[in-house]
């Protein structure tokens, strides 16, 4: 495996778990996972992530589990439980609790990345029903791909540039800064980036992990204060591929977006945007940064 990516062949079994298809027209890669149609929507009586529940039979602080409804085969989809507290949020964990999650993210990145069949480890969180979360208990997920997905690959091919904050700076923590991108797709979006050239989570030292924990707690609390509600958001972490390539431009960073453009008001991505790949943002990023600074 090298830094160059060859599109995979379409699997021969159309109904197998995690059936990877490649669109002949666009080159887009899609996993067709019919089994996920059987996934339960919202648990009615008990939370499977609370201690004593289906996925957490014993007490824990943070833990990972295999996803019972994986999008890909071969134990490449995991769930990360941030806390045993059902009604917590990521920011309510405080810096010590957030640091435990970051340590587990780094550990799982290293373990999965060391596998010969893994090229890229993506960590992400969907919070809120508006972005598809089916369980409210604080948790995130890990997808370990056997190729480098297109979005991080495009970033790497562009030199790994994450931009500069300028007047769009929102918050700082030791060794880290958070800002609104200069051309965000969503009205309220954030990039969190270390000052040093750190390529991936396993390479982040103690001070860097503490700084990331502090900044995540800070900006996620700002989102809730901004809208005076538990704001739905999507969070993902891009890092260096684990495919054995050099990737000298890889730089660890976190991206966070919310679908809301006002309290409870969703910003929909419509046909003109999806059909063109050009997006129309109703909130100037400088205004978004100012609102988040003041939150």
Q: What is the DSSP string of 119-154?
A: -EEEEEEEESGGGT----SSEEEEEEESS--HHHHH
Does residue 195 contact residue 177 with C-beta atoms inside 8 Å?
yes
Residue 139 among the catalytic residues = yes
Q: Which two tokens stand for residue 35?
A: 């089994």
Distance of CA 147 to the CA centre of its chain: 17
In a 3-state reduction of DSSP, which class is residue 113?
A: helix
Angle subtended at Cα 251 by Cα 190 and Cα 63, rounded to the nearest 5 degrees: 75
Catalytic residue among 137, 139, 238, 253: 139
Residue count of the chain: 295
Structure tokens belonging to residue 271: 């046909």
Query: What whole-number distance in Å separates Cα of residue 34 and Cα of residue 129?
Result: 21
Contact present, 215 and 90 (Cβ < 8 Å) = no
CA distances from 282 to 40, 183, 261, 287 (A): 35, 11, 8, 11
Q: Which of 115, 36, 39, 37 lies closest to 75, judged by CA? A: 115
For residues 163 and 202, is the Cβ–Cβ distance under 8 A?
no
The Cα–Cα gap between 242 and 76 comes to 14
Relative orientation angle of helices 206-227 and 285-294, to the nearest 10 degrees: 100
What residues act catalytically? 139
């Amino acid at each position: 495996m090298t830094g160059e990516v060859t599109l995979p062949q379409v699997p021969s079994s159309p109904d197998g778990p995690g059936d990877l298809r490649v669109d002949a027209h666009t080159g887009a890669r899609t996993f067709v996972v019919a089994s996920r149609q059987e996934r339960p929507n919202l648990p009615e009586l008990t939370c499977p992530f609370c201690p004593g529940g289906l996925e957490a039979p014993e007490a824990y602080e943070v833990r990972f589990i295999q996803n019972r409804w994986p999008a890909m085969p071969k134990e490449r989809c995991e769930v990360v439980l941030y806390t045993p507290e059902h009604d917590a949020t990521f920011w309510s964990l405080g810096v010590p609790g957030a640091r435990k999650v970051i340590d587990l993210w780094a550990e799982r990145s290293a373990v999965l990345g060391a596998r010969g069949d893994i090229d890229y480890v993506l960590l992400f969180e969907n919070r809120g029903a508006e972005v598809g979360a089916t369980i409210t208990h604080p948790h995130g997920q890990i997808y370990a791909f056997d190729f480098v997905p297109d979005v991080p690959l495009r970033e790497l091919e562009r030199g790994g540039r994450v931009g500069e904050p300028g007047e769009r700076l929102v918050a700082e923590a030791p060794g880290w800064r958070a800002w609104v991108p200069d051309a965000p797709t969503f009205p309220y979006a954030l990039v969190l980036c270390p000052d040093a050239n750190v390529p991936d989570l396993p390479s982040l030292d103690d001070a860097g992990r503490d700084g990331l924990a502090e900044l995540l707690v800070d900006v996620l609390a700002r989102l809730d204060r901004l809208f005076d509600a538990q704001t739905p958001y999507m969070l993902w972490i891009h890092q260096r591929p684990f495919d054995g390539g050099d990737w000298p431009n890889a730089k660890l960073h976190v991206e966070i977006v919310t679908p809301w453009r006002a309290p409870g008001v969703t910003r929909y991505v419509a046909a003109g945007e999806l059909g063109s790949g050009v997006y129309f943002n109703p909130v100037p990023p400088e205004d978004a940064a100012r609102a988040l600074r003041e939150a």
